[in-house]
Structure 1
Amino acid sequence: MYGYYFFILFLCFCIAPGCALQKSPSNDQLVAEAQAFMEGYAQDLRTRDGTAVAARYNRSGHYMLGAGHKLFISYDSLRVEYEERWQGPDSFEWQDLSYEPISSNAIMVLGKFIWGNDNFEEPGLFSYSGLLVRQDGELRIRVEDYSSDPMSMKEFICESDSTAG
């Protein structure tokens, strides 16, 4: 009976290492591509280039999550929003980004960002998660979720309340 358990244990030790997701050159390339994508995304935000920001999104549309909501946004409506109405940040910086390959054509990006607005004393700190999926040979945003600590938005909330009524 013990021989059976030792055999199973032996198989687990021999097979398990091969089952783990191994870093491969394709994963390294995908991570490098995603890092370049996120650097370019930050630059587009800082320069308030709405056309370039919109071009980073999936042409089939994308899901926006956060604060208990899920919303699907078509690429056409997103493009109009970014090109005609959107006002970007006065400053922007990614922090502590992590990259988790999902497949050879998809990668999760997790981290934080600081969004500065000159109308407020302190910039907002947000958590971020995004799913980048290759479409037409380029990584594009398919899912995004970002949220802030309500206390970091206190000034904005208080200012909005004081202007009401």
Structure 2
Amino acid sequence: METITSRIRIIKGDITKIQADAIVNAANTSLLGGGGVDGAIHRAGGTEILEACRKIVARQGGCKVGEAVITSAGKLDAKFVIHTVGPVWNNGNNNEDEKLANCYSNSMKLAAENGCHSIAFPGISTGIYKFPKDRAAGIAIKTIYDFLKTHDLPGQVILVCFDDESLRVLNEPSNTYNTH
């Protein structure tokens, strides 16, 4: 019998090179590319992703913090890119924890609705948005774990760490869930 924790993998790598049905992009509200993960995904995926994002912007004006939208993956080794906008850290004074949890749960929901068997996440909001990595890791693991308790899809969740510090923080015993 497969456990929930066996459905979650934590690796160090380049999210643009991960083979998954969906890759999550830590986007900005404009959806038109930027720096960090967002810029890397747009560069690696090509203009098809940008064009799909422009259509979403024309239709609904972008993407709000905590929400998620889905596009094709262009040249990436994925079917979809799920764009989610994480909160900028404001010392916890602007519901950042809830907004970050919404990024993960809304992305997982979109993946499930689109039949994705696998999804890869970067560390949302932990770069230029300065969300504390240890706090973000706990929110990510808890939100993903809680979603997987009640959903069959996605079957595999990959948390992709860009650096050693993020990998260490995600692997802290306080950020792992025991299924017993």
TM over 0.5: no
**Which structure ranks higher in relative contact order (CA pairs < 8 Å, sequence separation ≥ 6)?**
2
Q: Higher strand share goes to which structure?
A: 1
TM range (shorter): under 0.3
- If the length of structure 1 is used for normalisation, what is the TM-score? 0.25
Q: Which has the larger radius of gyration?
A: 1
- If the length of structure 2 is used for normalisation, what is the TM-score? 0.24
